[in-house]
Amino acid sequence: MSAVIDTHDHSHDQDHHHGPAKGFKRWLLTTNHKDIGTMYLIFSFTMFLLGGTMAMVIRAELFQPGLQIVEPAFFNQMTTMHGLIMVFGAVMPAFVGLANWMIPLMIGAPDMALPRMNNWSFWILPAAFALLVSTLFMSGGAPNFGWTFYAPLSTTYGPPSTTFFIFAIHMMGISSIMGAINVIATILNLRAPGMTLMKMPLFVWTWLITAFLLIAVMPVLAGVVTMMLMDINFGTSFFNAAGGGDPVLFQHVFWFFGHPEVYIMILPAFGAVSEIIPAFSRKRLFGYASMVYAVGAIALLSFVVWAHHMFTVGMPVAGEIFFMYCTMLIAVPTGVKVFNWVATMFRGSMTFEAPMLFSIAFVILFTIGGFSGLMLAIAPADFQYHDTYFVVAHFHYVLVPGAIFGIFASAYYWLPKWTGNMYDETLAKTHFWMSFIGMNLAFFPMHFLGLAGMPRRIPDYALQFADFNMVSSIGAFMFGSTQLLFLFIVVKCARGGEKAAAKPWDGAEGLEWTVPSPAPYHTFSTPPEVK
């Protein structure tokens, strides 16, 4: 029981009395949700830098036409590894880290419900990614078939390292499923007395729904990679037409996992932004209940839209129409959320610290990504957009200002709580503006490239695409290098500096307000009054 009710914050324990082994052992064996959340965040940022380095290789190669820096085979390995590392190594563990840190604090729980499993969930990940990255050094190189690893490209023509890649994916899936079970068990069993489900902060709600999504789709991914494993090593023909299999089956099973997966990467960001915007607008969140139902609707609809990734495989017209309209339907609950965020800011007493800047950029740029997604949902139009840079532009507009800006906003918002110190606001705003400009420079021209017909996943291109690609690469290098500034800001904040107030955002920019405390804004019936 001691592990379960261990509410002591170990982050300040004196390790030097016990020698260096004690210090390392504390991190290795910890069951403290704050320690584990911190390890997830450090791990995910490390993966973010590694995946970002691979993106820099891609953008350096595409800086001008012709083959100059890397071989086409290595270019394909970079696109594949960049996608896998960013999705499974950077974005998902970052949100799990935020969940570990904040959910017990937000619901009044002493820790996560299953602290030892929590430790195990984390430590599987470094092993899984060590296995994945090690494929770069194997004969035949790393996986080179894109992060969606379509069969038979991956099963018949993939490098020998594909089997290691499959085992790495299995380990990540095990970690995700255990993390999700832990989140659900914690939220359903350890809430403080009186905190009903409809009084939970929205970040907790979005994570509860995300955890159910994870448990629903991770076994599907495990199934599809197991079928790949059998096709490669045991002579089956699940995806091999010559043996009676069907390559399109792979796409159906993969995207039945893959589409809910993209919502797994964005829902926790919705939750975080729904905490941050009310705090800096000095108002309650507009339409709390509708936000909860909207998240639930998005999660349910995410299961019936998977084949919009497959409009070009030759499915029946009735199928195309069904998936087209279902995809457009997801815009409705998403639009509800955007409306509620804007309504929350409307006539609020807003201040624009770094968390709020990232959150506003999130709302605007995520909406742009949503509109390009609506364009891709139109089946006949998708025949033109499919496999062009327009698709790359779309999903980077959803994931970079969506998931990643959501993570940055959360980090700045909660850093004072985590460290007890205030970060350097001027540096943080510099980080925001450089990220914002770099990100738009990198990804906006890709819309034009795609509409002009430039295909994805190629190391070389025709001359007419040269100018936009140069702009894209400059923006990408600007965005990438700026993240080192973020590292500096966080380390500087963790090591000391100005002590944070008990409620660090109350007196922002000299405004004196009585604001509802961070635990759920919506439980207060009266609006905040000016002191």
259 an active-site residue? Answer: yes
Among 35, 61, 231, 261, which one carries the catalytic annotation?
261
Among 80, 161, 186, 274, which one carries the catalytic annotation?
274
8 an active-site residue? Answer: no
Residue pLDDT, tens place only, 295-317:
999 999 999 999 999 999 999 99
pLDDT of 528 higher than 90 = no
Among 199, 417, 456, 492, which one carries the catalytic annotation?
456
Pairwise CA distance, residues 47 & 172, whole Å: 13
Distance of CA 110 to the CA centre of its chain: 26
pLDDT band at 23 (very low <50, low <70, confident <90, very high): confident
**Count of CB atoms situated within 10 Å of the CB of 346:** 11
DSSP 250-308: HHHHHHHHHHHHHHHTTHHHHHHHHHHHHHHHTSPPTTHHHHHHHHHHHHHHTTS-GGG
| pLDDT for the residue numbered 21 | 54
Among 175, 281, 388, 482, which one carries the catalytic annotation?
175
Q: Is residue 396 part of a domain?
A: yes
Among 309, 394, 431, 522, which one carries the catalytic annotation?
309
Q: Is residue 20 part of a domain?
A: no
337 an active-site residue? Answer: yes
Nearest 5°: the CA angle 180, 182, 185 is 110
- In degrees and rounded to multiples of 5, residue 196 shows phi and psi of -75, 170
Pairwise CA distance, residues 307 & 320, whole Å: 8
Residues of the chain with pLDDT > 90, as a percent, come to: 89
Once rounded to an integer, what is the mean pLDDT over residues 40-67? 97
175 an active-site residue? Answer: yes
| pLDDT for the residue numbered 231 | 97
Among 34, 282, 308, 386, which one carries the catalytic annotation?
308
pLDDT of 472 higher than 70 = yes
Once rounded to an integer, what is the mean pLDDT over residues 488-509? 87
386 an active-site residue? Answer: no
Domain span including residue 186: 31-514
457 an active-site residue? Answer: no
| pLDDT for the residue numbered 497 | 85
Pairwise CA distance, residues 234 & 238, whole Å: 11
522 an active-site residue? Answer: no
Among 259, 282, 386, 394, which one carries the catalytic annotation?
259
Higher-scoring residue by pLDDT: 528, 402: 402
Which of helix, strand or coil describes residue 388?
Answer: strand
Among 176, 359, 372, 388, which one carries the catalytic annotation?
176
Output the average pLDDT for the chain. Answer: 92
| pLDDT for the residue numbered 366 | 97
pLDDT of 253 higher than 80 = yes
| pLDDT for the residue numbered 22 | 77
Pairwise CA distance, residues 429 & 434, whole Å: 9
pLDDT of 20 higher than 70 = no
18 an active-site residue? Answer: no
Number of domain units in the chain: 1
| pLDDT for the residue numbered 530 | 43
Among 111, 275, 320, 382, which one carries the catalytic annotation?
111
pLDDT of 430 higher than 80 = yes
HSE-CB at 83 with a 13 A cutoff on CA atoms is: 19
Among 31, 38, 334, 472, which one carries the catalytic annotation?
334
10 an active-site residue? Answer: no
Question: Pick from 89, 51, 63, 59: which is nearest to 75 by CA?
Answer: 59
| pLDDT for the residue numbered 11 | 46
Q: Is residue 385 part of a domain?
A: yes
Give the pair of three-digit tokens for residue 238: 């699940």
Once rounded to an integer, what is the mean pLDDT over residues 484-496? 97
pLDDT of 356 higher than 70 = yes
Among 34, 82, 170, 431, which one carries the catalytic annotation?
82
pLDDT band at 507 (very low <50, low <70, confident <90, very high): low
139 an active-site residue? Answer: no
Once rounded to an integer, what is the mean pLDDT over residues 162-188? 98
pLDDT band at 516 (very low <50, low <70, confident <90, very high): very low
Look up the CATH number of the domain holding residue 477. Answer: 1.20.210.10
347 an active-site residue? Answer: no
| pLDDT for the residue numbered 506 | 79
| pLDDT for the residue numbered 510 | 44
Q: Is residue 526 part of a domain?
A: no
Question: Do 36 and 461 touch, CB atoms closer than 8 A?
Answer: no
111 an active-site residue? Answer: yes
How far CA 214 is from CA of 4, 122, 236, 295, 307, in Å, comes to: 24, 16, 28, 15, 19
How far CA 303 is from CA of 176, 208, 221, in Å, comes to: 18, 17, 14
Once rounded to an integer, what is the mean pLDDT over residues 227-254? 96
All residues at 6 or more sequence positions from 435 whose CB lies less than 8 Å from its CB, including other chains: 405, 408, 479, 482, 483
Once rounded to an integer, what is the mean pLDDT over residues 199-207? 97
Residue pLDDT, tens place only, 323-351:
999 999 999 999 999 999 999 999 999 99
Q: Is residue 18 part of a domain?
A: no
CB under 8 A, 24+ apart: contacts of 64-71 = 64/466, 64/469, 64/470, 65/460, 65/461, 65/462, 65/463, 65/465, 65/466, 65/469, 66/460, 67/459, 67/460, 70/459
Once rounded to an integer, what is the mean pLDDT over residues 27-37? 96
Q: Is residue 229 part of a domain?
A: yes
Among 123, 147, 150, 513, which one carries the catalytic annotation?
147
Q: Is residue 19 part of a domain?
A: no
Residue pLDDT, tens place only, 90-139:
999 999 999 999 999 999 999 999 999 999 999 999 999 999 999 999 99
Q: Is residue 14 part of a domain?
A: no
